[in-house]
Amino acid sequence: MIVAEEMNKHPEVRFAADFEISKNAPFKTVDEFVTHMGNLINPDMLIMRVTESLCPLCADEEKFDQMRIPAIVYENSGEVKLIKECPEHGITREKYWEDYDMYQEAKKWADKGIRILNPNVAMLEEKIICPTHCGLCVKHKSHTGLGNVVVTNRCDLSCWYCFFYAKENEPIYEPSQDQVRMMLRRMRNEKPVGANAVQITGGEPTIRDDIIDVIKIAREEGYEHIQLNTNSVRAAFDPDFPRKVREAGSNVIYTSFDGPTPRSNPKNFWEVPAALENYKKAPLGVVLVPTVIGGINDHYLGDIIKFGLSNIDVVRAVNFQPVSLVGRMPDRMREKQRVTIPGCIKKIEQQTDGMIGREDFFTVPSTTKVSNFVEALKGKDMYKLSIHFACGMGTYIFKDGDKVTPITRFIDVRGMFEYMGELGDEMKGSSFKRLKKVESVSKLLLNLGKFVDYEKAPKDFKLKDMVYNAFTDGDYHGLKAFHYKSMFVGFMHFMDPYTYDVDRVERCDIHYAMPDGRVVPFCAFNVIPELYRDATQRKYSIPAKLYEERTGKVLKREKYFRDYTMEEKRKILKFYEDSIGRKLREDEIGLNLEEAIPVISSSRPE
């Protein structure tokens, strides 16, 4: 903690009352910080924090030994911003969070995290440099909340913004079933808490011939929550495929969905309606995943939520992902496309006429109050979403007939979480734990009703029964009914070299397993690809021609081409119009329906 006397030595600098210097930053004192970075500070800045970041150009040029540079997180004009300076490439200014008050509110829920007891990186803590020694290491502060296993880099689409699929004649990465099992097992065996949720991802996983066997392997390794990440093209045209996925052990489909119009979603606008119908028959729950890009589709966030609610019998969640801007980008283009979690939430508030507002969202680590309570009750380490408070937010919205109600409108979520946190602390600090556990559960069940306004709640909503079932089942299965009566609306903003914050990456709980045995946080794996993703996959890939010789496949023929009749096109357009409650304009369709509908291009549009 920085003492006030240190800050008072520099009256020219406006420090926040809770100003801090990260342990990852190269400075230990305020004097050191001001001496080295004072040239970046002006009187309009409220200096909140000093952290360690990356120079975007050093990272792009693969100058890994010099890419780490300090950064200032500060408030200006009601927004949280970041500024840093590279000795070689100069100053970078970037938007960090678009609302200072929301940032401060989220910060109140920050969790200290956990310690990995069996790290994969055999280095002393003081020798580890984050993010260049990922694997996981002893400095990491979150277990794997959601593991990712890339099972192929082949894809039947060629999206211009995708960094993952194999371009023409590029090597093919497709780990064997034994390698997949090893990667799954590595995450499952983490201590103190092993991964229990995994996403099978790509490329496009569903074009792998043995994808059903891969899902079965994940189930065999003990994963209870298995997501299949897909563009949903195969599910649209193969009605039996979703049923096979379900029978193999997957329970959630994670599908991209960038908007409810052909222009905002050239990737799978035409395929999603048929896919949803087939998922519903399986049955499989669906998470819609829009990548939000400023000026491209950020004006459709409200419509995307309406689309999900209209299909709530199959859509379980909408998980928005504000775009990560990788590679070299001019400042003006970044400013246009950059959107952060608070910016998206404000747009949703506007586009839904206040039906969902900023006060309805909570940061992900707020749930650790519940985890800590369950830990104290069970007497063992439990799943804990201890990510950085700036990385993700979410809420639940309930649909009761035509009425849509966010959970915060009838449950005092803050009060309930804080109360459960207090009870958890009491149990952990008690000398008579068995008696205290009985007392704490009794207190919770007795007082839960105080946090619920049942006059505003959906019909048949019984929080006490759900919580009781969760405890008596021994896990969270008792809360399944909660999910089937609601739709989750969430945000996960993965970093890029411009917004990079080492304090955040060392708390990441979305991890990739690699065939060399390492487990790497998302924002190291994808932001520094030549250290992790691309370098490792290249090592385990084979030339495209050799792949074709071994498998008998012709990779060019795997690409998807659309062939819809006019009747089918009109039917699909009507499905969307019924779902969002309005007609689509000609400029939103942006196509001559008399002609063949093109598949999304590999070339960046103007």
| Cis upstream peptide for 56 (omega within 30°) | no
Q: Is residue 384 part of a domain?
A: yes
Residue 364 has pLDDT above 80, yes or no: yes
Q: State the CB neighbour count (10 A cutoff) for residue 91.
A: 10
Q: Is residue 605 part of a domain?
A: no
Mean pLDDT for the stretch of residues 219-247: 98
**Of the residues 80, 97, 114, the one at which a domain ends:** 97
Residue 222 backbone class (left: φ over 0; alpha: ψ -120 to 50; beta: rest): left
Q: How far apart are CA 51 and CA 71, in angstroms?
A: 5
- Give the Å distances, CA to CA, from 545 to 170, 172, 174, 200, 335: 9, 9, 14, 25, 42
**Of the residues 74, 97, 120, the one at which a domain ends:** 97
Q: Is residue 79 part of a domain?
A: yes
Q: Is residue 418 part of a domain?
A: yes
Nearest to 520, CA basis, from 532, 530, 529, 528? 532
| Cis upstream peptide for 283 (omega within 30°) | yes
Q: How far apart are CA 61 and CA 63, in angstroms?
A: 6
Instruction: Report which DSSP code applies to 542.
Output: B
Picking from 67-81, 255-269, 359-373, 461-475, which range would have the lowest pLDDT averaged per residue?
461-475
Residue 338 backbone class (left: φ over 0; alpha: ψ -120 to 50; beta: rest): beta
Mean pLDDT for the stretch of residues 295-303: 96
The label of the residue with tokens 């009566």 reads 485
Model confidence pLDDT, tens digit, residues 192-217: 999 999 999 999 999 999 999 999 99
- Helices assigned H by DSSP within 526-585: 533-539, 544-551, 566-580
Tell the burial category of 129 from Cβ atoms under 10 Å away from its Cβ (0-12, 13-18, 19+).
Answer: middle
Q: Is residue 276 part of a domain?
A: no
Q: How far apart are CA 182 and CA 414, in angstroms?
A: 40
**Of the residues 38, 67, 97, the one at which a domain ends:** 97
Question: What type of residue sits at position 540?
Answer: Y
Q: How far apart are CA 500 and CA 51, in angstroms?
A: 10
3-state helix, strand, coil in the chain (%, to 5): 40, 20, 45
Residue 480 has pLDDT above 70, yes or no: no
Nearest to 412, CA basis, from 350, 365, 364, 463? 463
Do residues 287 and 251 make contact, with C-beta atoms less than 8 angstroms apart?
Answer: no
Q: How far apart are CA 26 and CA 84, in angstroms?
A: 13
Residue 34 backbone class (left: φ over 0; alpha: ψ -120 to 50; beta: rest): alpha
The mean of the pLDDT values for the chain is: 93
Give percent of the chain with pLDDT exceeding 90.
82
pLDDT confidence of 484, banded at 50, 70, 90?
low
Predicted model pTM: 0.95
| Cis upstream peptide for 136 (omega within 30°) | yes
Which residue range is the domain that position 408 belongs to?
361-491
Q: Which two tokens stand for residue 424?
A: 């958890």
Q: State the CB neighbour count (10 A cutoff) for residue 382.
A: 18
Nearest to 505, CA basis, from 135, 101, 72? 135
Q: Is residue 567 part of a domain?
A: no
Q: Which two tokens stand for residue 370?
A: 């519940």
Model confidence pLDDT, tens digit, residues 427-462: 999 888 889 999 998 999 899 889 999 899 888 787
Residue 164 has pLDDT above 80, yes or no: no
Residue 527 has pLDDT above 80, yes or no: yes
Number of domains in the chain: 2
pLDDT of residue 158: 85
Q: Is residue 327 part of a domain?
A: no
Question: What type of residue sits at position 149?
Answer: V
Q: Is residue 15 part of a domain?
A: yes
Q: What is the largest CA-CA distance in the chain?
A: 76
Which range, 111-125, 153-167, 204-218, 326-340, is most confident? 204-218
Tell the burial category of 461 from Cβ atoms under 10 Å away from its Cβ (0-12, 13-18, 19+).
Answer: buried
Do residues 382 and 374 make contact, with C-beta atoms less than 8 angstroms apart?
Answer: yes
- Give the Å distances, CA to CA, from 584 to 45, 260, 297, 323, 376: 44, 9, 15, 25, 53
pLDDT of residue 571: 98
Question: At 92, is the secondary structure helix, strand, or coil?
Answer: strand
Residue 477 has pLDDT above 90, yes or no: no
Q: How far apart are CA 269 and CA 96, in angstroms?
A: 31
Rounded CA Rg of the chain: 24
Torsion from C-alpha of 343, 345, 346, 351, nearest 10 degrees: 120
pLDDT confidence of 476, banded at 50, 70, 90?
very low
Residue 566 has pLDDT above 90, yes or no: yes
Picking from 131-135, 466-470, 514-518, 575-579, which range would have the lowest pLDDT averaged per residue?
466-470
The DSSP line for 164-227 is SSPPTTPPBP---HHHHHHHHHHHHT-SSS---EEEEESS-GGGSTTHHHHHHHHHHTT-SEEE
pLDDT confidence of 151, banded at 50, 70, 90?
very high
pLDDT of residue 474: 47
pLDDT of residue 401: 87
Instruction: Report which DSSP code applies to 21.
Output: E
The DSSP line for 576-587 is HHHHHTSPPPHH
Residue 606 has pLDDT above 60, yes or no: no
Residue 169 has pLDDT above 90, yes or no: no
Give percent of the chain with pLDDT exceeding 70.
94
Mean pLDDT for the stretch of residues 232-261: 97
